[in-house]
């Protein structure tokens, strides 16, 4: 090897020489046998390929037609209470529709406070990595029982004034301070937990869209941790326009960490709410019941504590086979999911040959300079001369 190249690799990519790891498996589903493997039992960081497992478990628990709910209640003083149950796609268009339906069920055109109940997600247990800071990384968006627009805000500066970069979403004054603190002139940033902004943001949007329905809010947007529905009147049980099938397609296509961990938390939820420990325990029991050996601490793949081997990922892909069309595809009979973190480049999925024979593959590279798509091309050559 060229001495200068070796020197540069040692300085900038030492892991490529000393701790590169791989786990590669090619599996013939029709024959139910492994065609090729390399370190198939080495447990590595799966990154976002673990979203396939999250999709699988959520489908088996809820069903593809499942729709998330958001409920509204009123009290004798015309205060409105909004309770969220983890809807991952409570976006501006959905909030606008929610407010249109809510307006039809109100007894008055004037309401008091808008009170947000976030208690379905237990607050102390939902702080994934990076969610307490102002960040330019949307994967730092915190998860909430009621979360608007993936707990993020999109903006741009025009004529020295910040405006929304989404026509359906206003840039509200209550969160403008976050935009200014970001130091950016444009982009999409998470709404962090500073000043409870992430918890209150959906309430601010609900107040805005209710005003468009000629509903006047004379009070404030507040939080409650003492929600007692027995003392209230339920006035709206809103069902999302999106099915779980829609949600999973978006999660897998965009590799959306926020959606994945909304699902992760809801998977383990019970009548007392959702928390990381409950979901982690649910995953452990599911993996054990299906004889899959893996460590999963959250559902998106952002954690480096997640570990799984290529052979175990094949087991997940076998179970996910009925739903492979939900995955991204390259137009050449390859349905796949990538997984990328610093030092991690992974790929898994399904490949159909010209005779519709199905091959499953899992390619994990940790601390390696190799490209998993290059390895996939090599694996294709192993599936038969008819390719």
Tokens of 296: 């999963």
List all residues 6 or more positions away from 266 whose beta carbon is below 8 Å from its beta carbon.
Answer: 58, 62, 68, 85, 86, 274
Tokens of 166: 């989404």
- The answer on pLDDT for 227 being more than 90 is no
- Res 10: pLDDT: 44
Q: What is the CA radius of gyration of the chain?
A: 23
- The answer on pLDDT for 321 being more than 50 is yes
Residues 47 and 31: their CA atoms lie apart, in Å, by 29
- Res 127: pLDDT: 59
Question: What is the residue-averaged pLDDT of the chain?
Answer: 91
Of the pLDDT bands very low, low, confident and very high (cuts 50, 70, 90), residue 20 is confident
48-89 pLDDT, tens per residue?
999 999 999 999 999 999 999 999 999 999 999 999 999 999
308-319 pLDDT, tens per residue?
999 999 999 999
- The answer on pLDDT for 11 being more than 50 is no
The pLDDT of 15-39, averaged and rounded, is 86
> Residues of the chain with pLDDT > 90: what percent?
84
- Res 143: pLDDT: 92
- Res 225: pLDDT: 87
Domains of the chain: 15-64+246-381 (3.40.710.10), 69-242 (3.50.80.20)
> Residues of the chain with pLDDT > 70: what percent?
90
- Res 203: pLDDT: 98
The pLDDT of 343-368, averaged and rounded, is 95
Cα 241 to chain centroid distance, Å, stands at 18
Of the pLDDT bands very low, low, confident and very high (cuts 50, 70, 90), residue 330 is very high
Residues 111 and 213: their CA atoms lie apart, in Å, by 12
- Res 41: pLDDT: 97
Residue 39's Cβ-count burial label (10 Å; 0-12, 13-18, 19+) is middle
């Amino acid at each position: 090897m060229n001495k200068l190249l070796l020197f540069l690799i040692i300085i900038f990519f030492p892991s490529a020489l000393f701790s590169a790891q791989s786990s590669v498996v090619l599996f013939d589903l029709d024959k139910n046998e492994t065609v090729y493997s390399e370190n198939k039992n080495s447990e590595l960081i799966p990154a976002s390929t673990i979203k396939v497992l999250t999709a699988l478990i959520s489908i088996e628990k809820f069903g593809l037609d499942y729709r998330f709910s958001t409920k509204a209640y009123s009290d004798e003083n015309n205060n409105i209470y909004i309770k969220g149950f983890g809807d991952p796609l409570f976006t501006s268009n959905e909030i606008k529709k929610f407010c249109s339906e809510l307006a039809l069920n109100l007894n008055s055109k004037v309401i008091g406070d808008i009170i947000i109940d976030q208690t379905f997600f237990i607050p102390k247990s939902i702080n994934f990595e990076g969610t307490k800071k102002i960040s330019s990384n949307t994967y730092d968006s915190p998860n909430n029982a009621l979360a608007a627009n993936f707990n993020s805000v999109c903006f741009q500066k025009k004529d020295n004034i910040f405006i929304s970069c989404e026509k359906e979403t206003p840039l509200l004054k209550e969160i403008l301070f976050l935009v200014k603190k970001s130091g950016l002139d444009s982009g999409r940033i998470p709404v962090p937990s500073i000043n409870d902004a992430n918890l209150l943001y959906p309430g601010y949007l609900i107040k805005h869209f209710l005003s468009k329905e000629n509903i006047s809010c004379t009070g404030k947007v507040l939080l409650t941790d003492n929600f007692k529905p027995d003392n209230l009147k339920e006035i709206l049980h809103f069902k999302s326009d999106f099915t779980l099938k829609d949600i999973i397609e978006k999660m897998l296509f965009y590799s959306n960490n926020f959606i994945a961990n909304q699902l992760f938390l809801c998977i383990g939820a019970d009548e007392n709410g959702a928390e990381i420990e409950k979901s982690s325990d649910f995953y452990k029991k599911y993996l054990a019941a299906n004889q899959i050996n893996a460590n999963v601490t959250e559902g998106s793949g952002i954690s480096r504590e997640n570990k799984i081997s290529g052979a175990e990922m094949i087991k997940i892909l076998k179970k996910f086979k009925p739903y492979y069309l939900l995955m991204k595809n390259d137009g050449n009979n390859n349905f796949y999911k990538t997984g990328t973190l610093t030092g991690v480049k992974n790929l898994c999925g399904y490949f159909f040959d010209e005779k519709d024979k199905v091959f499953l593959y899992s390619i994990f590279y940790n601390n390696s300079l190799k490209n998993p798509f290059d390895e996939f091309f090599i694996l294709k050559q192993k599936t038969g001369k008819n390719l």
